[in-house]
A and B are shown apart, each in its own frame.
Chain A
């Protein structure tokens, strides 16, 4: 965490002229090497190589069933909750292989927060939702919890909307607000990376816009990997885009390049809406 902060500070004070050199030297958060994954006999991810950079938004696009969610769930090892899953290869997170025997999943998941497709707040008060993560990691002090709750809700740009109703059930607010509560809940564990699996697919256009703006805001402090089936969304909010097809990465590049000048015919077909 401290190295993240240090790098953040450095890039803030670095000034404009150094921006380009900074960009080339940003360190990677996740380096995936030859990742394969099987659900039973179903070979869902094939030889994935992806190098994901810090403080960027990386979008994962591709048609339904191509393995986007599977890849995302592999990054925090949630995929292991599915019975009969086998993996091979490596995912280096900050220099350590997350598949190492002595890497605890609980530790990994406190560094890597996740936001799901359907807003899934706990059937508890808004306050208890946000305080859930800090509490399971041992924070009991009410004052500290209060501070974390406020900071996280502000971070998810929903503090003003819910500050007077923190004790109300999280299901009493709209779907779009619930999703931002879920983002705030993920922020409360002070993660390094935030994984988002089609976070706006269940939301109306205005709520979607709010979350897209929020993602732009969050990337200053976090690295974000977002799955989306909405290509305009990927183009609007991401720095890098990976195009998945049948469990393979077809193309991975700067978002501008992918959308204006893709090098693979299949990427071009998908982006121009010829299939998917």
Chain B
């Protein structure tokens, strides 16, 4: 007696193929609708803002007159912000990930820490703003400086960097660790010479994506008290500053129609920065393609 009747299988084949095709179209549709939304958004912004884009726009400070309004202070401010956020969050994040993956034992305390890191990744950014206001702006008396805002942003993206780095470290094959320990390497030598080099593509891609989140965040900056209208460039991390999303938010909330175009031009600049960061991430991922 046979369990698989081939004739029946062939007869049912048509129905199976139809279902197969149906789902394929549904998924294609889902992808296309996301793509469509993106295209519409880009079209709107570019058609609104392109007319205002110019070298002057990049080199002018903010102004009451839309025609003269420029993004210089915000662009430079955002770069300063990143100069604080990138080292702070990457050093702390990768350090925590190394500790959790390589040193910490698997006990209740580490499970608790791990769970809270994942939870922190989901906390709204306004809450991090309040934390920054209490700790950095007030308690440590850093005021509304680049340093205070940078530390606040670092806290915001730290959980994401930790989780991404942990995953990158975990994906390094155990056989490589064994080979290193088997030759008498210490844990630290194994981490520095084997694990980190193999994990760096993953760590960097995760970190850059986290940084591009930080560069687009507004809420924590508002809470920390970062001003909008600034007519000078910061000279150090203790100076105050403004950032791209703050500036864009300000322009878009002004009544004059012309400022909407200025805001759109600002968005184009912000998106270009994001695109640049993401291409760096893709470049790193391709360049260090893994070989095992």
B183 touching A133, Cβ below 8 Å: yes
- Pairwise interchain contact A83-B184, C-beta atoms closer than 8 A: no
B175 touches A106 (CB 8 A): no
Chain B residues within 8 Å of A76, by CB = 182
CB of A272 within 8 A of chain B?
no
Q: Which of B175, B181, B193, B291 contacts A118 (CB 8 A)?
A: B175
| A120-B106 contact given A106-B185, A186-B183, CB 8 Å threshold | no
Segment of A28-36, A49-57, A107-115 engaged in the interface with chain B: A107-115
Contact A132 B180 (CB under 8 A): yes
Taking a contact as CB atoms closer than 8 A, the residue among A105, A137, A169, A182 that contacts B179 in the complex is A182
Q: Which residues of B, 250-292, contact A by the 8 Å Cβ criterion?
A: 290-292
Q: Which residue of B lies closest to A119 (CB)?
A: B175
Tell me whether B186 is interfacial, beta carbon within 8 Å: yes
A78 within 8 A of B: yes
Quick one: which of B115-173 are within 8 Å of A by CB?
173
> Among A81, A169, A182, which residue has its beta carbon within 8 angstroms of that of B181?
A81
Query: Is the beta-carbon distance between A171 and B183 smaller than 8 angstroms?
Result: no
Contact A120 B176 (CB under 8 A): yes
Is residue B194 within 8 Å, beta carbon to beta carbon, of the partner chain? yes
Q: Which residues of B contact A106 (CB under 8 A)?
A: 184-186
**Is B175's CB under 8 angstroms from A120's CB?**
yes
Residues of B near A108 (CB, < 8 A) are 184
Q: Are A136 and B184 in contact (CB under 8 A)?
A: yes
Chain B residue contacts of A113, Cβ below 8 A: 182-183
> Given the complex of chains A and B, what is the CA–CA distance between A275 and B217 in angstroms?
66
Residues of A within 8 A of B291 (CB): 123, 169, 171
With beta carbons under 8 angstroms apart, the residue of B179, B189, B292 that contacts A171 is B292
A189 interface residue per 8 A CB criterion: yes
Across-interface contacts of B185 in A (CB, < 8 A): 106, 132, 136
Q: Return the chain A residue nearest B106 by Cβ.
A: A83
Residues of chain B within 8 A (CB-CB) of A109 are 181-184
Q: How far is the CB of A173 from chain B (nearest CB, A)?
A: 12
Q: Is the CB of B184 within 8 A of A133?
A: yes
A159 located at the interface, meaning its Cβ lies under 8 Å from any Cβ of chain B in the complex: no
Q: Tell me if B181 and A136 are in contact (CB < 8 A).
A: no
Interface of B is mostly: helix
CB distance from B126 to the nearest CB of A (A): 41
Instruction: Flag whether A116 is at the interface (Cβ < 8 A).
Output: yes
Task: Quote the shortest CB–CB distance from B202 to chain A (angstroms).
Answer: 13
A103 at the B interface (CB under 8 A): no
Q: Is the CB of A120 within 8 A of B173?
A: yes
- Cβ of A240: which chain B residues have Cβ within 8 Å of it? none
Contact of B175 among A105, A107, A116, A133 (CB under 8 A): A116
CB distance from B213 to the nearest CB of A (A): 30
Q: Within the assembled complex, what's the spacing in Å between the Cα atoms of A213 and B291?
A: 29
Query: Does A68 reach chain B (CB closer than 8 Å)?
Result: no
- Contact status A123-B181, CB under 8 Å: no
A180: chain B residues at CB < 8 Å are: none
Which chain A residues (116-144) contact chain B, with CB distance < 8 Å? 116, 118, 120-124, 132-133, 136-137
Min distance, Cβ A181 to any Cβ of chain B, angstroms: 11
Contact of B292 among A78, A116, A123, A185 (CB under 8 A): A123
Q: Given A123-B198, A136-B193, A171-B291, are A185 and B179 neighbors across the interface (CB < 8 Å)?
A: yes
Residues in B with CB closer than 8 Å to A105 are 184
- Whether, in the assembled complex, B178 has its beta carbon less than 8 Å from a beta carbon of chain A, the answer is yes
A133 to chain B, nearest CB (A): 4
CB pair B182 A122 closer than 8 Å: no
Are A110 and B179 CB-contacts (below 8 A) given A123-B198, A123-B291?
Answer: no
CA A83 to CA B105, docked complex, whole Å: 9
CA distance A113 to B185 in the complex (A): 12
- Kindly report which residue of chain A lies nearest to residue B288, judged by CB atoms: A123
Enumerate chain A residues within 8 angstroms of B182, measured Cβ to Cβ.
76, 78, 109, 113-114, 116, 186
User: What separation, in Å, do the CA atoms of A106 and B184 have in the docked complex?
Assistant: 4
**A-binding residues in B (CB < 8 A):** 105-106, 173, 175-186, 189, 193-194, 197-198, 290-292
A-B contact pairs, 23 of them (CB 8 A): A81-B177, A81-B178, A81-B181, A105-B184, A106-B184, A107-B184, A109-B181, A109-B184, A114-B178, A114-B182, A116-B175, A116-B178, A120-B173, A120-B178, A120-B179, A122-B180, A132-B183, A132-B193, A133-B183, A136-B183, A136-B185, A186-B182, A186-B183
Residue numbers of A with Cβ under 8 A of B are: 76, 78, 81, 83, 105-110, 113-114, 116, 118, 120-124, 132-133, 136-137, 169, 171, 182, 185-186, 189
A133-B184, A171-B292, A189-B183 known, 10 other contacts, Cβ within 8 Å: A76-B182, A83-B105, A116-B178, A122-B180, A122-B194, A123-B198, A132-B183, A132-B185, A136-B184, A136-B189
